[in-house]
Amino acid sequence: MMNKIFTFMIICGVLFSVLTGRVSEVSRAILQQGESAVSLALSLMGSFCLWGGVMRVADCAGLTEKLAKFFAPLLSLIFRGLPKNGEAMKAIATSAAANLLGLGNAATPLGIAAMKQLKDTERASDTATDNMIAFVVMNTASMQLIPTTTAVLRASLGSQNPLDILPAVWVASAASLFVGILAAKLGGRCR
């Protein structure tokens, strides 16, 4: 579906540039933005590699198990019916830890692993369970203590204090997480 939307947008953009006589400006912008995209990708790659490695070391050192035990009381309130020391809860806690550190892209594979564990644990068919829906909402809204990706982007664009947005990030992410989980739980009761 997204491919169709992007294709439609590109075709509309090209047609509009032809109709308005700005083809040269559009082609110049495409080349400039392509260069910017490559430069941005390279600057982000180091941060993702560093934090992905940190999460891997934390997992190998057993910190994720300790983190899962720390989060277990709170997560057991949200994810009812899951074993507190089970693989699904550990995977959810690991994904939550990655999101707390602001590692959205590193958290994606962890979130996929958690969803697979939830599907196996709850013996779900092709329909998402209430816990699966709550996890997707939690993973999407995600509380962030250190928004590393945003900080790297701000630093690459010349910000003197890339982390001066922390209070706003904490309030916004806590509010979105609370409202999202509340909506998921209330929606689950309506079914």
From first to last of the 191 residues of the chain, give the pLDDT tens digit.
789 998 999 899 889 888 998 888 888 888 888 888 888 788 778 777 776 677 678 768 877 667 667 777 888 888 888 887 788 888 888 788 777 766 666 677 888 888 898 888 888 777 888 888 889 898 888 777 777 778 878 887 888 998 898 899 899 989 998 999 899 888 877 76
Sign of CA dihedral 39, 56, 147, 79: positive
Residue 93 lies in a domain: yes
pLDDT of 68: 65
Residue 111 lies in a domain: yes
Q: How many independent structural domains does the chain possess?
A: 1
Residue 17 lies in a domain: no
What is the value of pTM for the model shown?
A: 0.65
Residue 5 lies in a domain: no
Residue 21 lies in a domain: no
Domain coverage including residue 175:
46-190
Q: Which residues contact 120 (CB under 8 A, 6 or more apart)?
A: 87, 88
Residue 132 lies in a domain: yes
